[in-house]
Structure 1
Amino acid sequence: MNIKNRLRQVRESFGLNQMQFVEKMQTSQSTISALEKGDRALNAEVVIRICDLFNLNTEWLLRGTGPMHKGDPKTGDASLISQPQKTQHTENMKSKKEMTGDASPVVESQREIMELFKKNMELQERLMAVMQENADLRVQAERDATRIRELERENEALKGERSE
């Protein structure tokens, strides 16, 4: 399954049509349509917004690996995050500071991954621009070489006429 299909799967799994999805994402319908058709690539900001809004695993959205939702590492069951435990013993309770400390490395890792993803996209765009420039320069070099050969032939012809 590719990224455009995973994006559609997210929308449909939450029972949203494109317009409802557009409202949640705060973007245009044409953007969502283009993303789902694969006519437009997801950028890092959109990936972060989708993962945050729908509690998705970034790795699943980008590559299709791992669980779909953040939560249970085996099943990706997001309900484990959103539903509090009914009974909680005092020895199992953590302070907000401790809980934030536990999640902080994960969040930081995801942010780093997204930054690397963003840098990768920028580098790919630069590479494509350099490759296009290289192709243009090769075409120009071939034209120049052809013109040089033509001028050399003309020069030889003129030398031949002078010597006669």
Structure 2
Amino acid sequence: MANKAVFFDRDGTLNRDVGYLHRIEDFIWMPGAKEAVRYVNGHGYLAVVATNQSGVARGYYKASDVVRVYDWMNETLAASGAHLDALYYCPHYVGGKIAKYAKPCDCRKPKTGMVDAACAKYDIDRAASYLVGDSETDMACAENAGLKGIRYAGGDLLALVKGTVK
């Protein structure tokens, strides 16, 4: 039986977008974000982060910084009885200065590579799954991937998720 998932954008959805976040000390949870992840966990959904991280290609920080922040997020969520099941991030950006990442790719939202990889690995039923994000790019990715898009425009993330994800 296929799994269902809620894909969360990171910056601007789970945490305040401070611009190229890569340091734990700059991380600020959005209101209701930890509770929204716990709600998703409790309702049988995988909680998956899918985030564009062009700061890697731009040379602002390393891919290991993205993983370190994710690991810290999970440590913090554990104290709230919640967890993230997976991290998918796109380090690519055509205009980047790190050659390894300065290229077009299929994972940068609105393309669906991150969602596709998670669906294949975790046997995710797209029709029963969601993508929660704060941008048109996120909503386009949801549509392109066959997920239900939930646009977050600020406020209590838990209330938004509870009103949509059943």
Range class of TM-score, shorter chain:
under 0.3
Higher strand share: 2
TM-score, normalised by the number of residues in structure 2: 0.23
More helix per residue: 1 or 2?
1
- Say which structure, 1 or 2, has more relative contact order (CA 8 Å, 6+ apart): 2
- TM-score normalized with structure 1 length: 0.24
